[in-house]
A and B are shown apart, each in its own frame.
Chain A
Amino acid sequence: MAPSSQHKPNDPPASGARSASDPLDVEAILSGDRRAFEHLVRKESPRLFRVIVRIIRDDDEAQSIMQETFLQAYQRLDTFRGDAKLTTWIYAIGINQARAALRKKRRTNPMEEADMERLQPSFNKGMYAEPPKEWDPQKMAERSERQRLVREAVDQLPENYRTVVILRDLEELSTAEAADILGISEGATRVRLHRARKALRSILASHFEDRAT
């Protein structure tokens, strides 16, 4: 970096000195300005990495998917249409690559649509066919055991359901942002999230129900 003595007083700070909290210059990024793009990379890397690693559950693979994502995004900037935020568009690229990679390497057999259906509550004339049983606080008390059950339950979900849970419930994105990333409508996003949460509730209920009642 240039020694500060060469700085004229009115110079803007050098790009390298930008802090992660500085706003993105979307216009400069779209014009292909590498410094502006690299500012976005610095700013978004930790969060994008976290989302991808949650999907793929492998640090090394997540890092390489993230790098490819930024490269693809940079090379395809001219296809960005501006109907979503630039960052949302980049997340969509990364998340879709992570999903494709996951489908290829899936270690355990995820549930199928029929299993998801079986885990939905059923109704008879608008009433619960089996009213929910209370959960036993004692069965929920052991923290590490509880977390293990939850992690296993989330991991069992089919990939498209798991991804919506990661985006909405873990990353706390809005329905609109999640819908943009998944390329489906907001209504379809809500339906998928709801089915995923209902299935998770059923799986947890099988562990937590107070059998005495």
Chain B
Amino acid sequence: MSLFTDIRRLFMLSCEDVNDFIVEYLDGTLDDRTRRRFEKHIANCPACSTYLDQYRETVTLVKEEADADVPEPPEELVDATLDFLRQHYDDAAKNGAS
């Protein structure tokens, strides 16, 4: 029994391991073997499954808030920037910096 437990542990990820892997799992950068172990753990562990759902939900909510709050660039943004640049392109040369 205890040998069995030890062997099982070798092949199983702990909840802490699973937590560490979440960011790579969602990025799709886990290697196949680790991804399968990750998914197997999630399927059998309510705590990790709930945590992963809430982590995903958090990312979704952050995006939702940002999308609702997209800063509109001022209309004159580009023209004002080009005016600014044309006035200052040669500043460095005048300061003798280049």
Contacts and interface: CB of A to CB of B under 8 A. Distances in A.
Contacts of A190: 23-24, 27
A49 B58 CA distance: 25
Given A123-B15, A201-B55, 19 more contacts: A38-B82, A49-B73, A50-B70, A50-B71, A50-B73, A66-B81, A123-B16, A131-B47, A132-B47, A132-B54, A134-B50, A147-B68, A147-B69, A165-B62, A169-B59, A170-B66, A193-B23, A194-B22, A194-B23
Nearest to B57: A135
A154 B24 CA distance: 21
11 contacts: A49-B73, A50-B71, A75-B97, A127-B15, A128-B47, A147-B69, A151-B65, A154-B65, A190-B23, A197-B58, A197-B59
B95 to A, nearest CB: 10
Interface string B58-90: 110111111011110110011011101100110
A128 B14 CA distance: 10
Contacts of A205: 54
A24 interface: no
B18 to A, nearest CB: 9
Given A75-B92, A150-B62, A151-B69, A45 B77 contact: yes
A135 B66 CA distance: 22
B27 A175 contact: yes
**For the complex of A and B, 6 pairs with smallest distance between CB atoms:** A126-B14, A131-B47, A150-B65, A194-B23, A53-B71, A123-B16
Contact of A132 (B29, B50, B74): B50
A82 interface: no
Most buried by A among B14, B55, B97: B55
Interface string A181-198: 000000000100110011
Interface of B: 14-17, 19-20, 22-24, 27, 29, 46-48, 50-51, 54-55, 57-59, 61-66, 68-71, 73-74, 77-78, 80-82, 84-85, 88-89, 91-92, 97-98
Contact of A54 (B14, B57, B66, B82): B66
Counting chain A residues whose Cβ lies within 8 A of the other chain, the interface size class is: 35 or more
- The dominant DSSP class at the A interface is helix
A27 to B, nearest CB: 19
Contact of B71 (A49, A128, A165): A49
B40 to A, nearest CB: 16
Contact of A147 (B55, B64, B97): B64
A144 B96 CA distance: 54
Interface in A127-153: 127-128, 131-132, 134-135, 146-147, 150-151
A99 B82 CA distance: 24
B15 A204 contact: no
A34 interface: yes
